Amino acid sequence: MILTAKAVLDEDPSPTEESLKKKLAGNLCRCTGYKKVLDSVMDVAGQSSKEG
């Protein structure tokens, strides 16, 4: 997951949440349901995936 997130950010330093979801879709994670992972990668990208 971390290596994919790095590759995504190397390719697109400001991904949208939707494009990030598509690019991380090939990774399986049973621990968080992906929300915390998406939030973390979006935070690193300097964007917020949190609503409100």
pLDDT for 50: 56
| Other beta carbons less than 10 A from residue 1's beta carbon | 15
pLDDT for 52: 40
Coil, strand or helix at 20: helix
**Ordered DSSP codes for 1-52:** -HHHHHHHHHH-SS--HHHHHHHHTTS--SSSTTHHHHHHHHHHTT------
pLDDT for 12: 94
pLDDT for 28: 82
Mean pLDDT of each 10-residue bin along the chain, 52 residues long: 93 93 85 82 79 45
Q: pTM here?
A: 0.74
